[in-house]
Amino acid sequence: MLYQSTRGNNERVSAAEAIKTGMVPKGGLFVPEKVPGLLVEEVLNLSYAQTAEKVFELFLSDFTKEEIKEITSKVYNKEIFGRDEVAPLVEIKNKLAILELWHGPTAAFKDMALQMLPYLMKKSLEKLGYDKELLILAATSGDTGKAALEGFKDVEGIKIICLYPHQRVSKVQELQMTTTEGENTYVIAVKGNFDDCQSKVKKIFSDEEFKKELLELNTELSSANSINWGRLLPQIVYYYRSYAELVERNEISLGEKINIVVPTGNFGNILAAWYAGRMGVPINKLICASNINNILTDFINTGKYDTHRDFIETNSPSMDILVSSNLERFIYEITGRDDKFINEIMTSLQETGSFQIGSRCLEKIQSELYGDYATEEETLLTIKKYFEEYKYLLDTHTAVGIKVYEKYLAHSKENDVYAIVDATANPYKFNTSVYEALKGREALAGKEEFGILNELSEISQMPVHPGLENLDKKEIKHNRTAEINELEDIIREIIKK
């Protein structure tokens, strides 16, 4: 299996090369040259790691079976994910299950892929006979950062720099990052929002001069964001495993279509679900849930992607995004891989801040996706309702997913389709908002985040996630703040260390 650019501006490359490089050097994203098929039958009654093996073998044809078995069993186990199932599927009411993707070390779904990516990266470098230093540059809205730092810390031959928007991540998220150990990890609070961080990273990736300069210092750049195919591939696995599990439990019959609800930011997770569907998981509708940064909702409903709007900070901060990178891959696939069209709309996005797709393409998108959003108020009410009615504690992002699913049901009048809702974070990771949902805003007065966390644990009787325990007592290892335009200099300085 080779990988090609969504903009037709690169030769086809091996999986190892696509993963090492992260993003197409001249702009554009790598996609597999074709989407392979995999019957759900083939993963029935397998473990999570075995399911991952089946999926990986199709996409990583330059890896041996033994190599794939080695890395999948190393990552997807009880030691790292705290339980044998890795991603438990919890049925909370009739025809609705929550897929808990947050049992990894950093308490958000990013671990599902970012625990794997360093192994994929290291094996890829080995295969390519690579003799340079790799510098991973990651922009984070809060959760990618810690997951990437944990995955890559102390990996030989690789340094990692994480950029997060200064004062725009939760205290827990910030402490998770700034207390990271490891000789090769760097964390920088950037003055700006997530989109500023992400655009800067993309800019650096396509700055030929700067890359040449780095190369003279024996260093190349790569990405741990979901623009890297090595991030998306591991996310396909849980859609196979959770569908198979519903069949194994006799909740659905083999072949029955289900709905999948994804709290969406960069469009990576939902794109992985779409690929799973194209490969063979029977899907009725993919539901793209946004918060009030609802640019994707508008796009799915009108065909116009328009970034001329305010960026709003919400209580589901990991979804506060206006430019969703993976939409490029999705439109490429939906248009039958029309790289000319992708070039047109990406130029338009860059030059005018918006693009528009035609009605045929829009109809196709609407036949597969439903897009809607939840307000902050609706998010909090949903958390309260599900805790009171089902004794289940949702985090804010997952609550956005649930609320949007309720809206979808009211709109579609379906009542017999089984649905899986992705739980993308542990509720304690966003404990201030979750506490506010249960006890009201006034109850927050005078309380600090870690007191709230412990109180929440008493109310819900759910133990604190090990990745969040004693965070306030750990030593701060990183405290650098920077302006966007200082980043090149900081990178130079870090490389020379």
Nearer to ligand PLP, 108 or 244 (CB): 108
Contacts by 359-363 with C-beta closer than 8 Å and gap 24+? 359/303, 361/303, 361/331, 361/334, 361/335, 362/302, 362/303
Using the structure block, give the residue that is written with the tokens 């031959």: 157
Closest CA to 1 of 57, 40, 41: 57
Q: Which residue has the tokens 């994929």?
A: 120
Q: Scanning residues 117 to 146, which ones bind ligand PLP (CB under 6 A)?
A: 143
Residues 262 and 401 sit within 8 Å (Cβ to Cβ): yes
Residue in 49, 108, 160, 323 binding ligand PLP, rule: CB under 6 A: 108
Q: Does 234 bind ligand PLP (CB under 6 A)?
A: no
Compute the least distance from the CB of residue 248 to ligand PLP, in Å. 27
320 binds ligand PLP (CB under 6 A): no
How far from each other are the two terminal CA atoms of the chain, in whole angstroms?
Answer: 38
Of the candidates 3, 59, 243, 267, which one interacts with ligand PLP according to CB under 6 A?
267
Q: Using alpha carbons only, give the angle 87, 92, 97 rounded to the nearest 5 degrees.
A: 45
Distance CA 232, CA 310 (A): 28
For residue 53, state whether it binds ligand PLP (rule: CB under 6 A). Answer: no
User: By CB under 6 A, is residue 433 in contact with ligand PLP?
Assistant: no
Q: From the list 269, 314, 431, 457, which residue makes contact with ligand PLP (rule: CB under 6 A)?
A: 269
What tokens does 13 get?
């490359």
Residue 230 makes CB contacts below 8 A (sequence gap 6+) with: 18, 19, 22, 113, 116, 117, 120, 121, 124
Q: With CB under 6 A as the contact rule, which of the stretches 6-14, 266-274, 330-338, 349-357 interacts with ligand PLP?
A: 266-274
Nearer to ligand PLP, 4 or 144 (CB): 144
- Kindly give, in sequence order, each residue whose CB lies less than 8 Å from that of residue 190, ignoring residues fewer than 6 positions away: 163, 164, 165, 166, 196, 197, 200, 481, 482, 483, 484, 487
Residue 268 CB, nearest approach to ligand PLP (Å): 3
Q: Does the footprint of ligand PLP cover residue 266 (CB under 6 A)?
A: yes
226 binds ligand PLP (CB under 6 A): yes
DSSP state string for 156-211: TTEEEEEEEETT-S-HHHHHHHHT---TTEEEEEESS-HHHHHHHHHHHHT-HHHH
Q: Whose Cβ is closer to ligand PLP: residue 8's or residue 82's?
A: 82
Contacts of 12 (CB under 8 A, 6+ apart): 2, 3, 4, 33
**CB 327, min distance to ligand PLP, A:** 10
- For residues 85 and 76, what is the distance between their CA atoms, to the nearest angstrom? 9
Binding mask 353-382 for ligand PLP (x = CB under 6 A): ------------------------------
Question: CB of residue 22 vs ligand PLP: minimum separation in angstroms?
Answer: 16
Min dist. Cβ of residue 158 to ligand PLP (A): 22
Task: Tell me the window of 259-267, 352-360, 434-442, 478-486 that interacts with ligand PLP (CB under 6 A).
Answer: 259-267
CB closer to ligand PLP, 31 vs 68: 31
Candidates 30-38, 87-95, 242-250, 267-275 — which segment interacts with ligand PLP by CB under 6 A? 267-275
Q: Which residues bind ligand PLP (CB under 6 A)?
A: 108, 110, 143, 226, 263-269, 318-319, 397, 424-425
